Amino acid sequence: MILKPVNMKRKILVLVIIVSLHFVAKGQVAININGYTNNLTLINPASITKFDGYRISVGHNIGWLGMKKSPQTTYLSADGLLTDNMGGAISLISSQQGIFSVSQIRCSYMYRTQVASDHQLAFGVLAAIEKNTISTVNLSPDEIVDPTLSNSYYNRSNVIAGLGVEYSWNNLLVALSSPMFYNSFANSLAIQNYFYSQYQFDINETWSLKPGLLLRYTPGYPFMSELTAAVTWNSLVSMRLGFNTNHDFSSLVMVHLDKISFYYSYSMPFNSLSSITSGMHELSFSLFLKSGK
């Protein structure tokens, strides 16, 4: 039997929806940011910048290069210390995956305390509103009339709450977070969970080495771990390499100037996706402003 073109298009559309729902329907997708080590606030509300002032960051990445409607994420965030012990952050995040769009606005609060000499412990909480929509801009008239596209299941708003803790001692940093601990749409808690640790070895006055470990667990999804190593020269230029259990290799180059920093990152898959995509690009820019205190 030969399928009519319209029916074939609808079958392909339904297939795209099913595959995309595996990632976005339950609001359980982790923010796919390669440069998370340079802006930990995106995955942990307790990780407010230690800079004496405020940081404004903007970033954009494009994944699955070479494919139409490839996933894209854009974020704008501002964070900083409000007092010596308290800090806050606000983030605007927009993610596009095929015909699915997810927009989020987050507010975070952090409290840091000195538990001993050179030992600090920080606690953070976040609240967010998330909007999920389906974009029909590039669909044909035959596809737009599909009743699946108007289903409220795929066009909804969620309320999200998260929490995190961070411990630092000299050059050691250890943290645990659940940036999506509660989602009003889901029926479970601790939906996204991260553990990360990093330590800075000061080789000499010019060079430093910072290895790191990230663990990510989302119920119903594969467990992911990533090892990274960053080398910094003269506190001006950093280069980081990483490899995770999804068989993705990542590289990042960052330049630090007086009041600005920016980085470029590229990741390449060494798995089944390598035959259909060449990887992901990411670019980010940060501006540091003195508090005036």
pLDDT in tens, 237-280: 999 999 999 888 999 999 999 899 999 999 888 776 666 667 88
β-pairing, 192-199 vs 172-183, is antiparallel
Cα–Cα dist 130/202, whole Å: 41
Q: Give the predicted TM-score (pTM) of the model.
A: 0.81
Give the pLDDT of residue 220: 81
pLDDT value, residue 247: 80
Q: What does the pLDDT read at residue 152?
A: 64
Q: Is pLDDT at 15 greater than 90 in this prediction?
A: no
Residue 159 · residue 181 · CB < 8 Å: no
CA 134 to chain centre: 21
Nearest 5°: the CA angle 89, 91, 97 is 155
Please tell me the distance from the alpha carbon of residue 108 to that of residue 110, in angstroms, as a whole number.
7
C-alpha closest to that of 211 among 229, 192, 237 = 229
Mean pLDDT throughout 51-71?
82
- Position 155 scores a pLDDT of 77
Architecture of domain 30-193+259-290: Beta Barrel (2.40)
How many Cα neighbours within 13 Å face the side chain of 283? 1
The stretch 104-131 carries a mean pLDDT of 94
Two tokens at 110?
A: 């952090």
Other beta carbons within 10 angstroms of residue 225's beta carbon come to 14
Alpha carbons 217 and 223: distance in angstroms, whole number: 5
Range of lowest pLDDT (1-5, 75-79, 115-119): 1-5
Mean pLDDT across the chain: 83
* pLDDT given for residue 52 in this prediction: 76
Is the model's pLDDT at 198 over the cut of 90? yes
Rounded to whole angstroms, the Cα distance separating 40 from 104 reads: 17
Name the DSSP class of 29: P
Report the distance separating Cα 83 and Cα 65, nearest Å: 43
* pLDDT classification of 14: cutoffs 50, 70, 90: very low
The CA dihedral of 181, 182, 187, 192, to the nearest 10 degrees, is -30
C-alpha count within 13 angstroms, C-beta hemisphere, residue 239 = 2
Structural domain boundaries in the chain = 30-193+259-290
